[in-house]
């Protein structure tokens, strides 16, 4: 144990001495060192800026798509036969963000009577639940079939919002952000049917508990629980008879074992394709915003390819420039290296000098390149970021990007210093003696 401790202490002492020698040599040739550092920085700064631009452009495009949740929707086309087991299986997939059954499209609308007894025909009824991507976070959801949320366009027609939005004016709270609470408004849904040649209708009083911003849904619609839709469908099919002004009970839809459609949303843009494929595999025809998503993914692939090619060329140039400089430095200091061998430094220790110096030059170059990136990124964001919808940032570099860049730069420095290290390790003490005799 004592021998190991002594060897470890000796190694640490030698390593510290080599680091000190390498640093002092760089400081002694400070002008030459500064040129090397600035050369490395001049190569790295544009690469960092290019990587930041690629990340910023792609992320801005992705965020633009994600702001519209309809891009995440897998639309089930037409009517299908979806039983509860299949719906539960799909809902359990990790790539599913939201799923709720729907009735047939022909039954997913009602006529509305407002407080002035005006009739608004064929208003779309959409089932909703916790986590609905079409609703802003923290929206108060209907707690029973007698409560609904109305869209902003429908709220204007019902007189629940004061006026049409003024063109060019700032958006109101109800237009952007949390829905505005309606003032105890009540409307009546009218569901009609014809049975045995006789026209009948059912009236359902509905309390409006909130308004969905137009930015979230721009058509006339009611958001309510699934119970109301199933009750309306059953009434039209003749399997439900409620009193003329009846109330649909909570949990009414639980008896329904099979549904004609569903609202289905993927967890992310990259999950839309696999989720659509899984639903299609069950023989169900679907529609997605695949073209828009594919265009963003194509931009990502193209910019990534361009960055890799430019980074490869830049990295090779950096390695050649730094390697050539370290090789020339070793040739220029052969006498001093030979003297170090005479003073007892081993070939490995002498060979470590250009490796350490290459790493220090690369590290300082990366530091200055980072400063150049910050200046360039600020200029890009200031000039072009105002027109972006993603917070005004055109360039983005994360901690992972910086860590990867630092690792690659150190790898390039290691490769670049290899030739110089081999040459330095071959310097023999005899060369120092010959130089001393001369």
**Could you read off the pLDDT of 76-128 as tens digits, one per residue?**
887 788 899 999 999 999 999 999 999 988 888 889 888 788 888 989 999 99
Strand 185-195 to strand 109-113: parallel, antiparallel, or no bridges (unpaired)? antiparallel
Predicted local distance difference test score (pLDDT) of residue 173:
43
**Range 282-291, long-range pairs (CB < 8 A, 24+ positions):** 282/86, 284/76, 284/80, 284/82, 285/76, 285/77, 285/78, 286/74, 286/75, 286/76, 286/77, 287/74, 287/75, 287/77, 288/73, 288/74, 288/75, 289/65, 289/70, 289/71, 289/73
Query: Which of 66, 107, 81, 114 shows the shortest CA–CA distance to 226?
Result: 107
Residue 354 has pLDDT above 60, yes or no: yes
Predicted local distance difference test score (pLDDT) of residue 114:
82
What average pLDDT does the segment 24-36 reach?
Answer: 88
Q: How many residues does this entry show for the chain? A: 438
Q: What is the pLDDT of residues 193-230, one digit of tens each?
A: 888 778 888 888 899 998 998 888 888 999 999 998 89
What average pLDDT does the segment 343-364 reach?
Answer: 87
What average pLDDT does the segment 269-295 reach?
Answer: 87
Highest mean pLDDT among 47-56, 72-81, 86-95, 386-395: 86-95
Residue 167 has pLDDT above 50, yes or no: no
Question: Which residue carries 């020339």 as its tokens?
Answer: 328
Predicted local distance difference test score (pLDDT) of residue 349:
83
Residue 370 has pLDDT above 60, yes or no: yes
Residue 175 has pLDDT above 80, yes or no: no
pLDDT band at 174 (very low <50, low <70, confident <90, very high): very low
Predicted local distance difference test score (pLDDT) of residue 9:
64
Q: Is 359 exposed, middle or buried (0-12, 13-18, 19+ CB in 10 A)?
A: middle
pLDDT band at 11 (very low <50, low <70, confident <90, very high): low
* Token digits of residue 338: 């030979």
Predicted local distance difference test score (pLDDT) of residue 321:
85
Q: What is the mean pLDDT of the chain?
A: 83
Predicted local distance difference test score (pLDDT) of residue 433:
65
pLDDT band at 424 (very low <50, low <70, confident <90, very high): confident
**Range 166-172, long-range pairs (CB < 8 A, 24+ positions):** 171/215
Q: Which of 7-21, 230-244, 360-374 has the lowest mean pLDDT?
A: 7-21
Predicted local distance difference test score (pLDDT) of residue 388:
62
Q: Is there a contact between 140 and 207 (Cβ–Cβ < 8 Å)?
A: no
Residue 242 has pLDDT above 70, yes or no: no
What average pLDDT does the segment 185-200 reach?
Answer: 83
Q: What is the pLDDT of residues 258-281, one digit of tens each?
A: 899 999 999 988 889 899 999 998
User: What percent of the chain stands above pLDDT 90?
Assistant: 18
């Amino acid at each position: 144990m004592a021998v190991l401790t002594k060897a470890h202490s000796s190694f640490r002492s030698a390593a510290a001495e080599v680091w000190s020698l390498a640093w002092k040599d760089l400081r002694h040739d400070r002008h030459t060192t500064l040129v090397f550092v600035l050369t490395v920085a001049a190569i790295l700064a544009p690469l960092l800026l290019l990587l930041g631009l690629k990340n910023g452009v792609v992320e801005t495009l992705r965020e633009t798509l994600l702001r519209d949740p309809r891009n995440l929707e897998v639309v089930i086309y037409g009517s299908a036969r979806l039983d509860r087991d299949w719906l539960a299986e799909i809902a359990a997939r990790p790539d599913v963000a939201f799923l709720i059954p729907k009735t047939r499209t022909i039954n997913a609308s009602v006529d509305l009577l407002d407080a002035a007894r005006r009739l608004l025909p064929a208003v779309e009824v959409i089932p909703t639940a916790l986590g609905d991507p079409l609703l802003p976070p923290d929206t108060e959801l209907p707690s029973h079939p007698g409560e609904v949320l109305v869209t902003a366009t429908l709220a204007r027609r019902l007189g629940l919002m004061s006026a049409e939005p003024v063109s060019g004016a700032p958006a109101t709270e109800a237009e952007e952000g949390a829905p505005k609470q309606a003032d105890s408004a009540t409307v009546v849904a009218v569901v009609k049917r014809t049975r045995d040649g006789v026209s009948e209708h059912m009236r359902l009083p509905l309390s409006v508990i909130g308004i969905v911003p137009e930015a979230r849904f721009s058509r006339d619609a009611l958001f309510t629980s699934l119970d109301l839709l199933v009750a309306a469908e059953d009434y039209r099919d003749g399997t439900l008879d409620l009193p003329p002004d009846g109330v649909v009970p909570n949990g009414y839809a639980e008896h329904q074992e099979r549904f004609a459609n569903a609202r289905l949303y993927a967890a992310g843009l990259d999950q839309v394709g696999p989720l659509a494929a899984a639903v299609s595999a069950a023989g169900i025809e679907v529609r997605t915003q695949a073209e828009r998503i594919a265009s963003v993914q194509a931009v990502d692939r193209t910019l990534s390819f361009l960055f890799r090619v430019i980074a490869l060329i830049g990295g090779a140039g950096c390695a050649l420039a730094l390697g050539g400089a370290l090789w020339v430095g070793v040739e220029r200091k052969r006498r001093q290296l030979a003297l170090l061998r005479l003073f007892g430094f081993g070939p490995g220790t002498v060979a470590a000098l250009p490796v350490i110096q290459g790493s220090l030059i690369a590290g300082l170059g990366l530091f200055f390149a980072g400063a150049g990136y910050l200046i360039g990124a600020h200029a890009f964001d200031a000039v072009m970021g105002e027109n972006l919808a993603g917070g005004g940032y055109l360039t983005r570099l994360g901690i992972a990007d910086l860590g990867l860049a630092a690792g690659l730069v150190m790898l390039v420095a290691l490769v670049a210093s290899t030739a110089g290290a081999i040459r330095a390790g071959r310097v023999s003490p005899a060369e120092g003696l010959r130089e001393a005799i001369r």
